């Protein structure tokens, strides 16, 4: 009887039911699209931060910033004087630590011993400046006076030496800068190299702690025409290229990767690291682990992904802010409005059905049965609205993913202070404690729809139906048969 009456009433009032369902559908569709875009923003931001940290890294530990005016931080190049008549090409490499600050290698073990730390790995970030070119010898040209005789004469104040000047000559040098990251080959599960995939050759073996081997970033290898088996020379040391890595995020952490001991030797930084990459045992306790490291390991700065996320600017940050604030508040406002409209329409429909409900009560229907009938109709309207909303929301999310708009993310700003967001970097990676270089990335926006989002949409549809039914049911329960029949026109 209940379902028969329900089906008949919904068919008879299909226009009103469609209006209620459409209002709920609009609110639910907006919630799905906003949540999906927010999820896409989160994935895009994770992709950006992944290029800094690498997979599996929860935080980094660097040396606390210390102002220094030491001239040793400036790259200096020296060339030997040569007496050869031939112009010769000269070159010089200068290997410098990114950020100019280092930590003792013992800090890695100290950080790893802290409560809540699952693993800690050290790395050394280097920048190599290579200056190469040649000096061109100038030509002395003698002044010609009096048939080529030197000017002056006895008593003329002349020294008797040919007079003239050196013309031509000079120098033509090119500066090539690239980054090198010294990685702990015994623990490859942490650090920037984990954000890249070996696409040719192989990665390091755990036994190659001090071997002269190198892995190159694919973009850098293409630029220099390196292949697996090629020889790469850094500061006069020849390394065998064993693998080529392609960054998953589209931007590599460094141009070259070598074993940590080799990097320490090149930079004359024995038992030193620039960054400690940390993995927490529980991702929900990152702030607790950060506090423990800052408290127990002196002279360090701890930077989490949340800290780095605050430095992300550009269209990605703007869009994320809009989706988080304006989008969510807008969806909430639309939902509230849809629920209120559904409730008012249902209540209004009950008022127009006074004769019907009065007759039913006169025939013996209890108030509870009438209320259940009204609530049932409202819930069905809510479920229909939910189905329409889910369909429209999925279509909207698919459209965003199909269009895949490109967003720009800028990490930090030139000369900004990050308080230790250091690490390896290629072409603008964060340079170390207290130093930050702007780094721009482009990411494609997607709108993935999760099962949780669908579940929320269904829950909202049922809630909307219940709220509308509550309005109408309360109104219907207050009708008395005599009052209802008295109002029959």
Would you place residue 441 in the very low, low, confident or very high pLDDT band (cuts 50, 70, 90)? low
Residues of the chain with pLDDT > 90: what percent?
A: 19
d(C-alpha 418, C-alpha 439), whole Å: 13
∠ CA 288-248-410 to the nearest 5 degrees? 70
Q: What is the pLDDT of residues 214-270, one digit of tens each?
A: 999 998 999 999 999 999 999 889 999 999 998 875 556 789 999 999 999 999 999
Mean pLDDT confidence for 75-91: 59
d(C-alpha 311, C-alpha 317), whole Å: 9
Q: Is residue 331's pLDDT more than 90?
A: no
C-alpha dihedral (106, 109, 110, 114), degrees to nearest 10: 170
Mean pLDDT confidence for 15-21: 76
Q: What is the pLDDT of residues 387-419, one digit of tens each?
A: 888 899 899 889 888 887 776 666 554 333 333
User: Burial, 131: exposed, middle or buried (Cβ in 10 Å; 0-12, 13-18, 19+)?
Assistant: middle
Would you place residue 428 in the very low, low, confident or very high pLDDT band (cuts 50, 70, 90)? very low
- Calculate the average pLDDT of the chain: 74
Q: What is the pLDDT of residues 200-213, one digit of tens each?
A: 999 999 999 999 99
Q: What is the pLDDT of residues 39-75, one digit of tens each?
A: 777 777 666 666 555 556 778 888 886 655 444 555 5
This prediction's pTM: 0.57
Residue 162 is predicted with a pLDDT of 62
Tokens of residue 64, six digits: 């606390």
């Amino acid at each position: 009887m209940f379902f028969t009456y329900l089906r008949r009433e919904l068919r008879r009032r299909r226009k009103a039911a469609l209006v209620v369902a459409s209002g709920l559908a609009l609110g639910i569709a907006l919630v799905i699209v906003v949540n999906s875009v927010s999820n896409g923003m989160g994935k895009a931001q994770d992709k950006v931060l992944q290029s800094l940290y690498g997979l599996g890294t929860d935080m980094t530990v660097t040396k606390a910033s210390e102002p220094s005016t030491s001239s040793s931080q400036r790259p200096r190049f020296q060339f030997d004087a040569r007496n050869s008549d031939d112009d010769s090409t000269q070159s010089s490499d200068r290997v410098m630590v990114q950020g100019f600050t280092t930590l003792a290698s013992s800090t890695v073990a100290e950080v790893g011993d802290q409560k809540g730390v699952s693993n800690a790995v050290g790395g050394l970030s280097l920048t190599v400046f290579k200056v190469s070119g040649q000096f061109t010898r100038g030509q002395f040209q003698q002044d010609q006076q009096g048939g080529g005789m030197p000017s002056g004469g006895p008593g003329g104040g002349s020294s008797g030496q040919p007079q003239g000047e050196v013309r031509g000559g000079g120098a033509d040098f090119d500066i090539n800068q690239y980054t090198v990251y010294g990685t702990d080959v015994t623990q490859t599960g942490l650090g920037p190299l984990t954000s890249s995939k070996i696409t040719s050759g192989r990665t390091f073996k755990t036994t190659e702690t001090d071997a002269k081997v190198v892995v190159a970033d694919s973009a850098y290898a293409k630029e220099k025409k390196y292949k697996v088996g090629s020889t790469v020379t850094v500061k006069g040391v020849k390394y065998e290229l064993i693998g080529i890595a392609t960054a998953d995020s589209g931007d590599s952490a460094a141009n070259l990767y070598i074993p940590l001991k080799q990097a320490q030797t090149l930079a004359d930084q024995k038992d030193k690291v620039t960054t400690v990459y940390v993995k927490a045992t529980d991702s929900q306790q990152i702030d607790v682990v950060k506090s423990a490291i800052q408290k127990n390991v002196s002279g360090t700065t701890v930077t989490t992904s949340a800290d780095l996320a605050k430095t992300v600017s550009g269209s990605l940050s703007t869009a994320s802010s809009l989706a988080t604030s304006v989008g969510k508040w807008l969806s909430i406002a639309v939902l509230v409005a849809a629920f209120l409209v559904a409730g008012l329409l249902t209540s209004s429909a009950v008022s127009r059905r006074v004769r019907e409900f009065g007759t039913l009560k006169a025939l013996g229907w209890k108030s509870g049965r009438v209320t259940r009938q009204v609530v049932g109709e409202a819930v069905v309207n809510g479920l229909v609205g939910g189905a329409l909303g889910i369909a429209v929301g999925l279509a909207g999310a698919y459209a965003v993913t199909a269009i895949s708009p490109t967003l720009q993310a800028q990490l930090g700003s030139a000369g900004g202070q990050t308080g230790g967001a250091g690490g390896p970097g290629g072409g603008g990676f964060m340079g170390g404690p207290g130093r930050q270089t702007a780094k721009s990335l482009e990411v494609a926006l997607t709108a993935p729809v999760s099962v949780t989002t669908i579940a929320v949409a269904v829950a909202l549809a049922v809630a909307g139906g219940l709220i509308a039914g509550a309005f109408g049911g309360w109104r219907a329960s207050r009708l008395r048969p005599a009052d209802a029949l008295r109002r029959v026109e």
